[in-house]
Amino acid sequence: MCSSERLLWSWLARHWARWRELLVFVQSATVLAWQRARFRDHWARLSRRDPDRPAIPKELRELVRDISAANPQWGSPRILGELRKLGIPVAQSTVEKYRVRPRRPSSPSWRAFLKSHMTEIVALDFFTMPTVGFKVLFVLVVLAHRRRKVVHFNVTAHPTAQRTAQQLVEAFPWETAPKYLLRDRDAVYGERFQRRVANLGIEQVLTGPRSLWQNAYAERVIGSSRRECLGQVMVFNEGHLRRLLTSYFRYYHRWRTHLSLAMDCPEPRPVLPPDRGAVVAFPEVGGLHHHYERMAA
pTM attached to this predicted model: 0.66
* Residue 184: pLDDT over 70: yes
Q: How far apart are CA 83 and CA 11, in angstroms?
A: 70
Q: CA dihedral defined by 282, 286, 289, 290, rounded to 10 degrees?
A: 0
At residue 161, the pLDDT reads 92
**DSSP element (H, E) containing 123:** strand 121-130
Q: How far, CA to CA in Å, does 190 sit from each of 8, 165, 173, 269?
A: 98, 9, 21, 39
* 135 φψ region: left (φ > 0), alpha (ψ -120 to 50), beta (else): beta
At residue 175, the pLDDT reads 78
Band of the pLDDT at 112, cuts 50, 70, 90? very low
**What secondary structure letter does DSSP report for 101?**
P
Q: What percent of the chain has pLDDT over 70?
A: 86
State the average pLDDT over residues 26-46: 77
> Where in the chain are the domains?
58-106+271-295, 118-254
> How many C-beta neighbours within 10 Å does residue 1 have?
7
Q: Which of residues 38 and 283 earns the better pLDDT score?
A: 283
* Residue 228: pLDDT over 90: yes
For every residue of 124-181, DSSP letters joined together read EEEEEEE-TTS-EEEEEEEEETTTTEEEEEEEESS--HHHHHHHHHHHS-SS---SEE
Question: Tell me: the pLDDT tens digits for 92-103?
Answer: 888 988 888 766
At residue 146, the pLDDT reads 87
Q: Could you tell me whether strands 136-144 and 149-156 are parallel, antiparallel, or unpaired per DSSP bridges?
A: antiparallel
Q: Which CATH superfamily is domain 118-254 in?
A: Ribonuclease H-like superfamily/Ribonuclease H (3.30.420.10)
Contact 259, 160 (CB under 8 A): no
